A and B are shown apart, each in its own frame.
Chain A
Amino acid sequence: MAKYEYTEMKDTRSGFGDGLLEAGKRNKNVVALCADLTGSLKMNAFKDAFPDRFIQAGIAEANMMGVAAGLTIGGKIPFTGTFANFSTGRVYDQIRQSIAYSGKNVKIAASHAGLTLGEDGATHQILEDIGLMKMLPGMVVINPCDYEQTKAATIAIAEYDGPVYLRFGRPKWPVFTPANQKFEIGKAVTFQEGTDVTIIATGHCVWESLKAAEELEAEGLSVEVINIHTIKPLDNEAILKSAAKTGRVVTAEEHQMNGGLGDAVAQLLSRNNPTPMEFVAVDDSFGESGKPEELFEKYGLGKSSILAAVKRIMKR
Protein backbone atom coordinates (compact mmCIF):
# COMPACT_ATOMS: atom_id res chain seq x y z
CA MET A 1 0.00 0.00 0.00
CA ALA A 2 1.23 3.45 -0.94
CA LYS A 3 1.40 6.23 1.62
CA TYR A 4 -0.03 9.64 0.94
CA GLU A 5 0.13 12.92 2.78
CA TYR A 6 -1.11 16.33 1.74
CA THR A 7 1.77 18.74 1.26
CA GLU A 8 0.70 21.72 -0.88
CA MET A 9 -1.42 22.93 -3.78
CA LYS A 10 0.30 22.68 -7.16
CA ASP A 11 -0.77 22.19 -10.76
CA THR A 12 -0.17 18.93 -12.58
CA ARG A 13 0.99 20.86 -15.66
CA SER A 14 3.94 22.08 -13.61
CA GLY A 15 4.68 18.46 -12.86
CA PHE A 16 4.88 17.91 -16.59
CA GLY A 17 7.13 20.94 -17.10
CA ASP A 18 9.50 19.88 -14.34
CA GLY A 19 9.46 16.26 -15.49
CA LEU A 20 10.20 17.29 -19.07
CA LEU A 21 13.22 19.29 -17.95
CA GLU A 22 14.49 16.28 -16.00
CA ALA A 23 13.85 13.91 -18.92
CA GLY A 24 15.75 16.33 -21.14
CA LYS A 25 18.70 16.29 -18.77
CA ARG A 26 18.74 12.51 -18.69
CA ASN A 27 18.52 11.95 -22.45
CA LYS A 28 19.77 14.28 -25.16
CA ASN A 29 17.37 12.73 -27.66
CA VAL A 30 14.38 14.17 -25.80
CA VAL A 31 13.00 17.09 -27.82
CA ALA A 32 9.88 19.18 -27.27
CA LEU A 33 7.39 20.79 -29.62
CA CYS A 34 4.73 23.26 -28.60
CA ALA A 35 1.84 24.83 -30.49
CA ASP A 36 2.04 28.38 -29.13
CA LEU A 37 1.27 27.43 -25.53
CA THR A 38 4.75 27.23 -24.03
CA GLY A 39 3.79 29.11 -20.88
CA SER A 40 0.51 27.26 -20.39
CA LEU A 41 2.27 23.89 -20.71
CA LYS A 42 5.11 25.01 -18.41
CA MET A 43 7.63 24.14 -21.12
CA ASN A 44 9.74 27.29 -20.68
CA ALA A 45 12.27 25.63 -18.41
CA PHE A 46 12.98 22.99 -21.06
CA LYS A 47 13.08 25.63 -23.79
CA ASP A 48 15.58 27.73 -21.83
CA ALA A 49 17.77 24.77 -20.91
CA PHE A 50 17.74 23.18 -24.38
CA PRO A 51 16.92 25.85 -26.98
CA ASP A 52 18.21 23.65 -29.81
CA ARG A 53 15.87 20.85 -28.78
CA PHE A 54 12.75 22.98 -28.49
CA ILE A 55 10.59 23.48 -31.58
CA GLN A 56 7.92 26.15 -31.72
CA ALA A 57 5.22 24.71 -33.98
CA GLY A 58 2.89 27.67 -34.04
CA ILE A 59 -0.89 27.23 -34.04
CA ALA A 60 -0.67 24.28 -36.39
CA GLU A 61 -1.27 21.16 -34.34
CA ALA A 62 -1.74 18.74 -37.24
CA ASN A 63 1.68 19.61 -38.60
CA MET A 64 3.16 19.40 -35.10
CA MET A 65 2.01 15.79 -34.76
CA GLY A 66 3.47 14.88 -38.16
CA VAL A 67 6.76 16.63 -37.49
CA ALA A 68 6.99 14.78 -34.16
CA ALA A 69 6.44 11.48 -35.96
CA GLY A 70 9.16 12.39 -38.45
CA LEU A 71 11.60 13.34 -35.69
CA THR A 72 11.36 9.85 -34.20
CA ILE A 73 12.77 8.42 -37.43
CA GLY A 74 16.07 10.13 -36.63
CA GLY A 75 15.99 8.68 -33.11
CA LYS A 76 14.47 11.67 -31.33
CA ILE A 77 11.98 11.31 -28.46
CA PRO A 78 9.52 14.14 -29.12
CA PHE A 79 7.03 15.50 -26.59
CA THR A 80 4.23 17.50 -28.19
CA GLY A 81 2.59 20.13 -26.04
CA THR A 82 -0.82 21.71 -26.38
CA PHE A 83 -4.23 21.58 -24.68
CA ALA A 84 -5.88 18.16 -24.46
CA ASN A 85 -8.59 19.23 -26.88
CA PHE A 86 -6.05 20.13 -29.57
CA SER A 87 -3.89 17.10 -28.70
CA THR A 88 -6.61 14.60 -29.55
CA GLY A 89 -9.83 15.40 -31.40
CA ARG A 90 -8.31 18.11 -33.54
CA VAL A 91 -5.48 15.88 -34.72
CA TYR A 92 -6.98 12.43 -34.38
CA ASP A 93 -6.22 11.23 -37.88
CA GLN A 94 -2.65 12.53 -37.71
CA ILE A 95 -2.13 10.63 -34.46
CA ARG A 96 -3.86 7.57 -35.82
CA GLN A 97 -1.89 7.22 -39.04
CA SER A 98 1.44 8.96 -38.49
CA ILE A 99 1.97 8.03 -34.83
CA ALA A 100 -0.11 5.07 -33.62
CA TYR A 101 -0.35 2.95 -36.79
CA SER A 102 3.22 3.88 -37.66
CA GLY A 103 4.37 2.88 -34.16
CA LYS A 104 6.23 6.14 -33.55
CA ASN A 105 7.81 7.01 -30.24
CA VAL A 106 5.88 10.25 -29.71
CA LYS A 107 4.77 11.49 -26.29
CA ILE A 108 1.58 13.51 -26.57
CA ALA A 109 1.49 15.83 -23.59
CA ALA A 110 -2.02 17.18 -23.12
CA SER A 111 -2.73 19.93 -20.64
CA HIS A 112 -5.97 21.59 -19.50
CA ALA A 113 -7.81 18.27 -19.75
CA GLY A 114 -11.30 17.89 -18.35
CA LEU A 115 -13.56 20.48 -16.73
CA THR A 116 -11.00 21.96 -14.38
CA LEU A 117 -9.42 24.39 -16.80
CA GLY A 118 -12.48 26.31 -15.73
CA GLU A 119 -13.50 29.67 -17.08
CA ASP A 120 -12.57 29.10 -20.75
CA GLY A 121 -15.64 26.90 -21.05
CA ALA A 122 -16.70 23.90 -23.09
CA THR A 123 -14.73 24.65 -26.28
CA HIS A 124 -11.58 23.94 -24.31
CA GLN A 125 -12.83 21.39 -21.75
CA ILE A 126 -12.40 18.10 -23.52
CA LEU A 127 -14.06 15.20 -21.72
CA GLU A 128 -13.69 12.67 -24.53
CA ASP A 129 -9.91 12.45 -24.85
CA ILE A 130 -9.31 9.29 -22.81
CA GLY A 131 -11.85 7.45 -24.93
CA LEU A 132 -10.41 8.73 -28.19
CA MET A 133 -6.89 7.77 -27.26
CA LYS A 134 -7.52 4.42 -25.59
CA MET A 135 -9.24 3.20 -28.75
CA LEU A 136 -6.03 3.55 -30.73
CA PRO A 137 -4.16 0.23 -30.86
CA GLY A 138 -0.84 0.39 -29.04
CA MET A 139 -1.45 3.80 -27.43
CA VAL A 140 -0.57 4.08 -23.74
CA VAL A 141 -2.97 6.41 -21.88
CA ILE A 142 -1.92 8.03 -18.61
CA ASN A 143 -3.80 10.47 -16.36
CA PRO A 144 -1.76 11.23 -13.22
CA CYS A 145 -3.37 12.45 -10.00
CA ASP A 146 -1.09 15.21 -8.73
CA TYR A 147 2.03 17.26 -9.39
CA GLU A 148 4.49 14.63 -8.20
CA GLN A 149 2.88 11.75 -10.05
CA THR A 150 2.75 13.81 -13.25
CA LYS A 151 6.42 14.68 -12.95
CA ALA A 152 7.36 11.04 -12.38
CA ALA A 153 5.13 9.90 -15.24
CA THR A 154 6.76 12.38 -17.63
CA ILE A 155 10.21 11.04 -16.78
CA ALA A 156 8.99 7.44 -17.08
CA ILE A 157 7.37 7.78 -20.49
CA ALA A 158 10.54 9.29 -21.95
CA GLU A 159 12.19 5.96 -21.13
CA TYR A 160 9.37 3.89 -22.65
CA ASP A 161 9.57 3.12 -26.38
CA GLY A 162 6.19 3.74 -28.02
CA PRO A 163 3.38 6.25 -28.37
CA VAL A 164 1.98 7.66 -25.12
CA TYR A 165 -0.87 10.02 -24.32
CA LEU A 166 -0.20 11.91 -21.07
CA ARG A 167 -3.15 13.89 -19.77
CA PHE A 168 -2.97 16.53 -17.06
CA GLY A 169 -4.65 19.70 -15.89
CA ARG A 170 -4.48 23.40 -15.27
CA PRO A 171 -5.60 24.16 -11.69
CA LYS A 172 -3.61 23.99 -8.52
CA TRP A 173 -4.67 20.73 -6.88
CA PRO A 174 -3.60 18.95 -3.70
CA VAL A 175 -0.22 17.27 -3.84
CA PHE A 176 -0.21 14.09 -1.76
CA THR A 177 2.06 11.56 -3.45
CA PRO A 178 5.78 11.50 -2.58
CA ALA A 179 8.53 13.44 -4.33
CA ASN A 180 10.93 11.46 -6.48
CA GLN A 181 8.54 8.49 -6.64
CA LYS A 182 9.09 5.72 -9.13
CA PHE A 183 6.36 5.66 -11.75
CA GLU A 184 5.49 2.29 -13.23
CA ILE A 185 3.39 2.46 -16.41
CA GLY A 186 0.36 0.20 -16.07
CA LYS A 187 0.72 -0.36 -12.34
CA ALA A 188 -2.14 0.59 -10.01
CA VAL A 189 -1.40 2.40 -6.77
CA THR A 190 -3.44 1.38 -3.73
CA PHE A 191 -3.71 4.31 -1.33
CA GLN A 192 -6.06 2.70 1.13
CA GLU A 193 -7.12 -0.89 1.76
CA GLY A 194 -10.68 -1.83 2.63
CA THR A 195 -13.22 -4.61 2.39
CA ASP A 196 -16.67 -3.09 1.74
CA VAL A 197 -16.21 -1.12 -1.47
CA THR A 198 -13.47 -0.24 -3.96
CA ILE A 199 -13.13 3.25 -5.36
CA ILE A 200 -11.06 3.26 -8.54
CA ALA A 201 -10.05 6.78 -9.51
CA THR A 202 -7.83 8.61 -11.94
CA GLY A 203 -6.51 12.17 -12.27
CA HIS A 204 -7.96 14.94 -10.15
CA CYS A 205 -10.67 12.59 -8.86
CA VAL A 206 -8.17 10.61 -6.80
CA TRP A 207 -7.91 13.30 -4.12
CA GLU A 208 -11.70 13.65 -4.05
CA SER A 209 -11.94 9.88 -3.60
CA LEU A 210 -9.52 9.91 -0.68
CA LYS A 211 -11.50 12.68 1.01
CA ALA A 212 -14.72 10.74 0.42
CA ALA A 213 -13.14 7.59 1.80
CA GLU A 214 -12.17 9.42 5.01
CA GLU A 215 -15.80 10.35 5.62
CA LEU A 216 -17.04 6.88 4.76
CA GLU A 217 -14.54 5.30 7.12
CA ALA A 218 -15.77 7.62 9.86
CA GLU A 219 -19.25 6.26 9.18
CA GLY A 220 -17.94 2.73 9.62
CA LEU A 221 -17.38 1.59 6.04
CA SER A 222 -14.15 -0.10 5.02
CA VAL A 223 -13.11 1.56 1.74
CA GLU A 224 -10.36 0.57 -0.66
CA VAL A 225 -9.01 3.38 -2.84
CA ILE A 226 -7.07 2.46 -5.95
CA ASN A 227 -5.42 5.00 -8.21
CA ILE A 228 -5.36 3.91 -11.83
CA HIS A 229 -2.99 6.41 -13.43
CA THR A 230 -2.57 4.25 -16.52
CA ILE A 231 -5.92 3.68 -18.19
CA LYS A 232 -4.24 1.68 -20.91
CA PRO A 233 -2.76 -0.81 -20.39
CA LEU A 234 -5.04 -1.35 -17.41
CA ASP A 235 -3.75 -3.09 -14.29
CA ASN A 236 -6.21 -5.97 -14.62
CA GLU A 237 -4.75 -7.94 -11.76
CA ALA A 238 -5.06 -5.18 -9.18
CA ILE A 239 -8.64 -4.37 -10.18
CA LEU A 240 -9.81 -7.98 -10.27
CA LYS A 241 -8.20 -8.71 -6.92
CA SER A 242 -9.85 -5.74 -5.24
CA ALA A 243 -13.26 -6.37 -6.85
CA ALA A 244 -13.14 -9.98 -5.70
CA LYS A 245 -12.47 -8.78 -2.15
CA THR A 246 -15.05 -5.98 -1.84
CA GLY A 247 -17.65 -7.02 -4.40
CA ARG A 248 -18.50 -3.37 -5.16
CA VAL A 249 -16.70 -0.94 -7.44
CA VAL A 250 -17.11 2.81 -7.93
CA THR A 251 -15.04 4.52 -10.62
CA ALA A 252 -14.28 8.24 -10.58
CA GLU A 253 -12.84 10.31 -13.41
CA GLU A 254 -12.92 13.78 -14.93
CA HIS A 255 -14.20 12.51 -18.26
CA GLN A 256 -17.32 11.39 -20.08
CA MET A 257 -18.85 8.25 -18.65
CA ASN A 258 -18.77 6.91 -22.20
CA GLY A 259 -15.30 5.81 -23.15
CA GLY A 260 -13.39 6.52 -19.98
CA LEU A 261 -11.85 4.62 -17.08
CA GLY A 262 -15.23 3.33 -15.94
CA ASP A 263 -15.84 1.70 -19.29
CA ALA A 264 -12.47 0.00 -19.20
CA VAL A 265 -13.08 -1.33 -15.67
CA ALA A 266 -16.60 -2.48 -16.53
CA GLN A 267 -15.33 -4.37 -19.56
CA LEU A 268 -12.69 -6.10 -17.47
CA LEU A 269 -15.08 -7.02 -14.66
CA SER A 270 -17.95 -8.14 -16.88
CA ARG A 271 -15.67 -10.58 -18.64
CA ASN A 272 -13.96 -11.95 -15.57
CA ASN A 273 -16.01 -11.32 -12.46
CA PRO A 274 -19.26 -9.40 -12.94
CA THR A 275 -19.41 -6.90 -10.07
CA PRO A 276 -21.91 -4.15 -9.27
CA MET A 277 -20.52 -0.78 -10.34
CA GLU A 278 -21.30 2.90 -10.06
CA PHE A 279 -19.73 5.53 -12.28
CA VAL A 280 -18.69 9.00 -11.18
CA ALA A 281 -18.12 10.83 -14.47
CA VAL A 282 -19.75 13.43 -16.71
CA ASP A 283 -22.97 12.00 -18.05
CA ASP A 284 -23.14 12.77 -21.79
CA SER A 285 -22.77 16.51 -21.45
CA PHE A 286 -20.47 19.36 -22.43
CA GLY A 287 -19.04 21.56 -19.70
CA GLU A 288 -19.33 25.33 -19.21
CA SER A 289 -17.46 28.28 -17.76
CA GLY A 290 -16.94 28.38 -14.03
CA LYS A 291 -14.46 27.78 -11.24
CA PRO A 292 -12.92 24.29 -11.21
CA GLU A 293 -14.47 23.39 -7.85
CA GLU A 294 -17.89 24.69 -8.95
CA LEU A 295 -17.69 22.65 -12.14
CA PHE A 296 -16.63 19.54 -10.24
CA GLU A 297 -19.68 19.91 -8.05
CA LYS A 298 -22.18 20.78 -10.80
CA TYR A 299 -21.09 17.99 -13.13
CA GLY A 300 -21.01 15.36 -10.43
CA LEU A 301 -17.31 14.67 -10.06
CA GLY A 302 -16.51 15.87 -6.55
CA LYS A 303 -16.44 14.29 -3.14
CA SER A 304 -20.19 14.56 -2.64
CA SER A 305 -20.85 12.66 -5.88
CA ILE A 306 -18.43 9.94 -4.87
CA LEU A 307 -20.11 9.66 -1.46
CA ALA A 308 -23.50 9.38 -3.15
CA ALA A 309 -22.24 6.72 -5.54
CA VAL A 310 -20.84 4.65 -2.67
CA LYS A 311 -24.13 4.95 -0.80
CA ARG A 312 -26.03 3.80 -3.86
CA ILE A 313 -23.85 0.79 -4.37
CA MET A 314 -24.03 -0.22 -0.72
CA LYS A 315 -27.81 -0.55 -1.12
CA ARG A 316 -27.54 -2.79 -4.18
Chain B
Amino acid sequence: MASIQELENTASQVRRDIVRMVHAVNSGHPGGSLGCADYFTALYFEILEHSTDFKMDGKNEDLCFLSNGHISPVWYSVLARSGYFPISELKTFRKIDSRLQGHPTTHEGLPGIRIASGSLGQGMSAAVGAAMAKKMNGDNKTVYCLHGDGELQEGQIWEAAMFAAHNKVDNLICTVDYNKRQIDGDTDDVLSLGDLRAKFEAFGWDVMEMDGNNMEATINGLKAAKIKTGNGKPICILMKTEMGAGVDFMMGSHKWHGVAPNDEQLADALSQLTETAGDY
Protein backbone atom coordinates (compact mmCIF):
# COMPACT_ATOMS: atom_id res chain seq x y z
CA MET B 1 0.00 0.00 0.00
CA ALA B 2 1.41 3.33 -1.06
CA SER B 3 1.49 6.27 1.36
CA ILE B 4 -0.38 9.46 0.56
CA GLN B 5 2.98 11.17 0.03
CA GLU B 6 4.07 8.51 -2.46
CA LEU B 7 0.82 8.84 -4.35
CA GLU B 8 1.15 12.62 -4.42
CA ASN B 9 4.67 12.22 -5.78
CA THR B 10 3.36 9.96 -8.52
CA ALA B 11 0.61 12.45 -9.37
CA SER B 12 3.23 15.20 -9.65
CA GLN B 13 5.19 13.13 -12.17
CA VAL B 14 1.96 12.38 -14.05
CA ARG B 15 1.28 16.11 -14.26
CA ARG B 16 4.77 16.67 -15.67
CA ASP B 17 4.07 13.99 -18.28
CA ILE B 18 0.80 15.65 -19.23
CA VAL B 19 2.21 19.11 -19.90
CA ARG B 20 5.28 17.70 -21.64
CA MET B 21 3.21 15.41 -23.91
CA VAL B 22 0.83 18.15 -24.91
CA HIS B 23 3.64 20.66 -25.42
CA ALA B 24 5.62 18.24 -27.59
CA VAL B 25 2.88 18.01 -30.23
CA ASN B 26 1.35 21.42 -29.63
CA SER B 27 -2.06 19.79 -29.24
CA GLY B 28 -4.14 17.89 -26.73
CA HIS B 29 -6.10 18.64 -23.59
CA PRO B 30 -4.07 19.60 -20.52
CA GLY B 31 -6.79 21.22 -18.37
CA GLY B 32 -9.00 18.24 -17.61
CA SER B 33 -6.00 15.91 -17.62
CA LEU B 34 -4.31 17.88 -14.82
CA GLY B 35 -7.57 18.05 -12.89
CA CYS B 36 -7.92 14.25 -12.96
CA ALA B 37 -4.27 13.37 -12.22
CA ASP B 38 -5.03 12.62 -8.58
CA TYR B 39 -8.06 10.47 -9.43
CA PHE B 40 -6.18 8.32 -11.96
CA THR B 41 -3.16 7.99 -9.70
CA ALA B 42 -5.33 6.94 -6.76
CA LEU B 43 -7.23 4.49 -8.93
CA TYR B 44 -4.30 2.73 -10.60
CA PHE B 45 -1.77 2.85 -7.76
CA GLU B 46 -4.10 2.12 -4.85
CA ILE B 47 -7.69 1.18 -5.61
CA LEU B 48 -7.93 -1.06 -8.69
CA GLU B 49 -7.50 -4.80 -8.41
CA HIS B 50 -5.93 -5.27 -11.80
CA SER B 51 -3.13 -6.85 -13.78
CA THR B 52 -0.83 -4.87 -16.04
CA ASP B 53 -0.53 -8.07 -18.09
CA PHE B 54 -3.40 -6.75 -20.18
CA LYS B 55 -6.25 -8.97 -21.27
CA MET B 56 -9.22 -7.46 -23.08
CA ASP B 57 -11.81 -9.47 -21.17
CA GLY B 58 -10.43 -8.35 -17.79
CA LYS B 59 -12.03 -11.32 -16.08
CA ASN B 60 -11.68 -11.18 -12.28
CA GLU B 61 -10.16 -7.71 -12.51
CA ASP B 62 -11.55 -4.26 -11.84
CA LEU B 63 -12.02 -2.36 -15.09
CA CYS B 64 -11.51 1.33 -15.80
CA PHE B 65 -13.19 3.28 -18.60
CA LEU B 66 -12.68 6.88 -19.65
CA SER B 67 -15.76 8.34 -21.30
CA ASN B 68 -14.38 11.86 -21.78
CA GLY B 69 -11.56 10.52 -23.91
CA HIS B 70 -9.96 13.88 -24.64
CA ILE B 71 -8.15 13.73 -21.30
CA SER B 72 -6.12 10.85 -22.71
CA PRO B 73 -2.74 12.33 -21.57
CA VAL B 74 -3.48 11.63 -17.91
CA TRP B 75 -4.67 8.10 -18.65
CA TYR B 76 -1.70 7.31 -20.88
CA SER B 77 0.75 8.59 -18.27
CA VAL B 78 -0.82 6.58 -15.47
CA LEU B 79 -1.11 3.43 -17.61
CA ALA B 80 2.56 3.68 -18.58
CA ARG B 81 3.78 4.47 -15.08
CA SER B 82 1.77 1.63 -13.57
CA GLY B 83 3.34 -0.80 -16.06
CA TYR B 84 0.92 -1.33 -18.94
CA PHE B 85 3.41 -0.19 -21.59
CA PRO B 86 6.87 1.42 -21.69
CA ILE B 87 7.04 4.93 -20.22
CA SER B 88 9.19 5.97 -23.18
CA GLU B 89 6.18 5.43 -25.45
CA LEU B 90 4.62 8.59 -24.01
CA LYS B 91 6.82 10.51 -26.42
CA THR B 92 4.79 9.14 -29.34
CA PHE B 93 1.54 10.79 -28.14
CA ARG B 94 -0.51 12.11 -31.07
CA LYS B 95 2.28 11.38 -33.55
CA ILE B 96 2.02 9.31 -36.71
CA ASP B 97 2.15 5.49 -36.24
CA SER B 98 1.55 5.78 -32.49
CA ARG B 99 -0.57 3.61 -30.22
CA LEU B 100 -1.24 6.78 -28.21
CA GLN B 101 -3.90 8.33 -30.41
CA GLY B 102 -5.34 11.74 -29.63
CA HIS B 103 -8.31 9.99 -28.10
CA PRO B 104 -8.02 6.51 -26.58
CA THR B 105 -8.73 3.56 -28.82
CA THR B 106 -8.40 -0.20 -28.99
CA HIS B 107 -7.62 0.12 -32.68
CA GLU B 108 -3.84 0.30 -32.31
CA GLY B 109 -3.82 -2.24 -29.48
CA LEU B 110 -2.65 -0.06 -26.61
CA PRO B 111 -2.73 -2.14 -23.41
CA GLY B 112 -5.19 -0.83 -20.84
CA ILE B 113 -7.79 0.49 -23.28
CA ARG B 114 -10.95 -1.54 -23.78
CA ILE B 115 -13.05 0.74 -25.97
CA ALA B 116 -12.59 3.88 -28.02
CA SER B 117 -13.85 7.12 -26.52
CA GLY B 118 -13.79 10.74 -27.53
CA SER B 119 -17.16 11.21 -29.12
CA LEU B 120 -18.80 12.12 -25.83
CA GLY B 121 -21.56 10.43 -23.89
CA GLN B 122 -20.83 6.84 -24.91
CA GLY B 123 -18.66 5.56 -22.08
CA MET B 124 -21.31 4.97 -19.46
CA SER B 125 -23.23 2.59 -21.74
CA ALA B 126 -20.08 0.57 -22.42
CA ALA B 127 -19.18 0.48 -18.72
CA VAL B 128 -22.70 -0.67 -17.89
CA GLY B 129 -22.43 -3.44 -20.49
CA ALA B 130 -19.06 -4.54 -19.12
CA ALA B 131 -20.46 -4.52 -15.59
CA MET B 132 -23.46 -6.62 -16.66
CA ALA B 133 -21.15 -9.10 -18.36
CA LYS B 134 -19.24 -9.40 -15.07
CA LYS B 135 -22.44 -10.26 -13.26
CA MET B 136 -23.38 -12.83 -15.92
CA ASN B 137 -19.92 -14.36 -15.59
CA GLY B 138 -20.06 -14.55 -11.79
CA ASP B 139 -17.16 -12.09 -11.61
CA ASN B 140 -17.48 -9.93 -8.49
CA LYS B 141 -15.02 -7.20 -9.47
CA THR B 142 -15.95 -3.55 -10.01
CA VAL B 143 -16.21 -1.36 -13.11
CA TYR B 144 -15.12 2.28 -12.88
CA CYS B 145 -15.91 4.95 -15.43
CA LEU B 146 -14.94 8.61 -15.54
CA HIS B 147 -17.06 11.29 -17.18
CA GLY B 148 -16.67 14.96 -17.88
CA ASP B 149 -19.36 17.17 -16.42
CA GLY B 150 -19.96 18.92 -19.74
CA GLU B 151 -20.37 15.47 -21.24
CA LEU B 152 -23.50 14.99 -19.13
CA GLN B 153 -25.23 17.26 -21.64
CA GLU B 154 -25.31 14.26 -23.99
CA GLY B 155 -28.66 12.44 -23.89
CA GLN B 156 -27.11 8.98 -24.06
CA ILE B 157 -25.70 9.47 -20.55
CA TRP B 158 -29.21 9.67 -19.16
CA GLU B 159 -30.37 6.68 -21.18
CA ALA B 160 -27.50 4.75 -19.60
CA ALA B 161 -28.21 6.17 -16.13
CA MET B 162 -31.86 5.06 -16.34
CA PHE B 163 -30.87 1.65 -17.69
CA ALA B 164 -28.17 1.01 -15.06
CA ALA B 165 -30.54 1.77 -12.18
CA HIS B 166 -33.38 -0.28 -13.69
CA ASN B 167 -31.06 -3.25 -14.04
CA LYS B 168 -29.51 -2.77 -10.57
CA VAL B 169 -26.01 -2.55 -12.00
CA ASP B 170 -24.44 -2.11 -8.57
CA ASN B 171 -20.90 -3.13 -9.49
CA LEU B 172 -20.42 0.17 -11.29
CA ILE B 173 -18.85 3.40 -9.98
CA CYS B 174 -19.23 6.34 -12.35
CA THR B 175 -17.27 9.42 -11.40
CA VAL B 176 -18.07 12.86 -12.76
CA ASP B 177 -15.15 15.24 -13.15
CA TYR B 178 -17.13 18.12 -11.71
CA ASN B 179 -14.90 21.05 -12.63
CA LYS B 180 -17.86 23.06 -13.96
CA ARG B 181 -16.02 24.04 -17.12
CA GLN B 182 -16.19 23.02 -20.78
CA ILE B 183 -14.68 24.25 -24.05
CA ASP B 184 -16.91 27.26 -24.54
CA GLY B 185 -16.96 28.36 -20.91
CA ASP B 186 -18.54 27.53 -17.58
CA THR B 187 -21.11 24.75 -17.70
CA ASP B 188 -23.55 27.13 -16.00
CA ASP B 189 -23.25 29.46 -18.98
CA VAL B 190 -23.11 26.90 -21.78
CA LEU B 191 -25.91 24.57 -20.66
CA SER B 192 -26.54 24.40 -16.96
CA LEU B 193 -26.32 20.93 -15.42
CA GLY B 194 -28.65 21.90 -12.60
CA ASP B 195 -28.59 19.87 -9.43
CA LEU B 196 -26.51 16.87 -10.43
CA ARG B 197 -26.91 15.09 -7.10
CA ALA B 198 -30.68 15.38 -7.33
CA LYS B 199 -30.63 14.28 -10.98
CA PHE B 200 -28.63 11.11 -10.37
CA GLU B 201 -30.62 10.33 -7.22
CA ALA B 202 -33.86 10.76 -9.13
CA PHE B 203 -32.52 8.29 -11.70
CA GLY B 204 -31.99 5.78 -8.88
CA TRP B 205 -28.27 6.11 -8.18
CA ASP B 206 -26.39 6.21 -4.90
CA VAL B 207 -24.62 9.58 -5.07
CA MET B 208 -21.61 10.78 -3.09
CA GLU B 209 -19.24 13.71 -3.32
CA MET B 210 -15.47 13.79 -3.21
CA ASP B 211 -12.63 16.29 -3.45
CA GLY B 212 -10.68 15.03 -6.47
CA ASN B 213 -7.64 17.22 -5.95
CA ASN B 214 -6.84 16.04 -2.45
CA MET B 215 -5.15 12.64 -2.51
CA GLU B 216 -6.31 11.52 0.89
CA ALA B 217 -9.89 12.58 0.19
CA THR B 218 -9.76 10.87 -3.20
CA ILE B 219 -8.51 7.60 -1.76
CA ASN B 220 -11.08 7.70 1.02
CA GLY B 221 -13.85 8.61 -1.40
CA LEU B 222 -13.03 5.79 -3.79
CA LYS B 223 -12.86 3.33 -0.90
CA ALA B 224 -16.21 4.54 0.41
CA ALA B 225 -17.69 4.12 -3.05
CA LYS B 226 -16.37 0.56 -3.25
CA ILE B 227 -18.11 -0.25 0.04
CA LYS B 228 -21.38 0.95 -1.47
CA THR B 229 -21.21 -1.57 -4.32
CA GLY B 230 -23.47 -4.60 -4.23
CA ASN B 231 -26.41 -2.75 -2.71
CA GLY B 232 -28.72 -2.73 -5.72
CA LYS B 233 -27.80 0.73 -7.03
CA PRO B 234 -25.12 2.07 -9.35
CA ILE B 235 -22.85 4.59 -7.66
CA CYS B 236 -22.07 8.11 -8.79
CA ILE B 237 -19.24 10.18 -7.37
CA LEU B 238 -19.46 13.90 -8.00
CA MET B 239 -15.75 14.65 -7.92
CA LYS B 240 -14.91 18.29 -7.40
CA THR B 241 -11.76 19.21 -9.29
CA GLU B 242 -10.07 22.28 -10.68
CA MET B 243 -9.35 22.28 -14.40
CA GLY B 244 -5.59 22.70 -14.73
CA ALA B 245 -4.92 21.67 -11.10
CA GLY B 246 -1.24 21.87 -10.20
CA VAL B 247 -0.26 24.56 -12.70
CA ASP B 248 -1.32 27.97 -11.43
CA PHE B 249 -1.78 29.74 -14.74
CA MET B 250 -3.93 26.91 -16.12
CA MET B 251 -6.39 27.10 -13.22
CA GLY B 252 -9.38 29.35 -12.78
CA SER B 253 -10.76 29.34 -16.31
CA HIS B 254 -11.77 27.06 -19.18
CA LYS B 255 -9.14 28.34 -21.57
CA TRP B 256 -6.67 25.47 -21.02
CA HIS B 257 -9.26 22.85 -21.90
CA GLY B 258 -7.62 22.06 -25.20
CA VAL B 259 -4.62 24.34 -25.65
CA ALA B 260 -0.96 23.35 -25.43
CA PRO B 261 1.60 25.44 -23.53
CA ASN B 262 4.42 27.12 -25.46
CA ASP B 263 8.08 26.68 -24.45
CA GLU B 264 7.96 29.42 -21.85
CA GLN B 265 4.71 28.25 -20.38
CA LEU B 266 6.01 24.68 -20.26
CA ALA B 267 9.05 25.81 -18.27
CA ASP B 268 6.78 27.70 -15.90
CA ALA B 269 4.52 24.67 -15.48
CA LEU B 270 7.39 22.27 -14.89
CA SER B 271 8.87 24.61 -12.27
CA GLN B 272 5.68 24.06 -10.29
CA LEU B 273 5.73 20.25 -10.56
CA THR B 274 8.41 18.19 -8.87
CA GLU B 275 10.07 15.50 -10.95
CA THR B 276 9.66 12.48 -8.70
CA ALA B 277 10.07 9.43 -10.92
CA GLY B 278 12.09 10.67 -13.88
CA ASP B 279 10.67 12.33 -16.97
CA TYR B 280 10.05 10.06 -19.96
Contacts and interface: CB of A to CB of B under 8 A. Distances in A.
A51 interface: no
Interface string B107-124: 100000011111101111
A174 to B, nearest CB: 38
Interface in B155-200: 155-156, 159-160, 162-163, 166-167
A275 B115 CA distance: 43
Interface residues of B, number: 39
B160 A63 contact: yes
Interface in A171-213: none
B59 A74 contact: yes
B163 A57 contact: yes
A74 B117 contact: no
Contact of B163 (A31, A60, A71): A60
A55 B160 CA distance: 13
Contacts of B126: 66-67, 69-70, 73, 98
A98 B119 CA distance: 9
B136 A98 contact: no
Nearest to B114: A73
B114 A103 contact: no
B157 to A, nearest CB: 9
Given A63-B163, A65-B125, A70 B115 contact: yes
A76 to B, nearest CB: 5
Contacts of B136: 31, 52-53, 74, 76
Contacts of B269: none
B58 A62 contact: no
B156 A58 contact: no
A66 B163 CA distance: 11
Contact of A73 (B116, B133, B155, B166): B133
A97 B125 contact: no
Interface in B104-154: 105-107, 114-119, 121-134, 136-137, 139
A220 interface: no
B277 to A, nearest CB: 30
A12 interface: no
A67 B132 contact: yes
A82 interface: no
Contact of A62 (B63, B105, B159, B166): B159
Given A62-B125, A63-B163, A76-B136, A98 B115 contact: yes
Nearest to B133: A74
A75 B122 contact: no
B128 to A, nearest CB: 5
A66 B121 CA distance: 10
B156 A67 contact: no
A69 B105 contact: no
B57 interface: yes
A101 interface: yes
Interface in A80-106: 93-94, 96-98, 101-104
Contacts of A53: 136
Contacts of B129: 66-73, 78
A73 B63 contact: yes
A160 to B, nearest CB: 18
Contacts of A62: 121-122, 125, 155-156, 159
Contacts of B127: 70
Nearest to A63: B159
Given A58-B163, A93-B119, A66 B132 contact: no
The 3 closest A-B pairs by CB, nearest first: A70-B129, A66-B125, A74-B133
17 contacts: A31-B136, A53-B136, A60-B159, A60-B163, A62-B156, A63-B160, A69-B126, A69-B129, A70-B115, A70-B127, A73-B114, A74-B59, A74-B136, A94-B122, A102-B105, A102-B106, A104-B115
Interface of A: 31, 52-53, 55, 57-58, 60, 62-76, 78, 93-94, 96-98, 101-104
Interface of B: 56-59, 63, 105-107, 114-119, 121-134, 136-137, 139, 155-156, 159-160, 162-163, 166-167
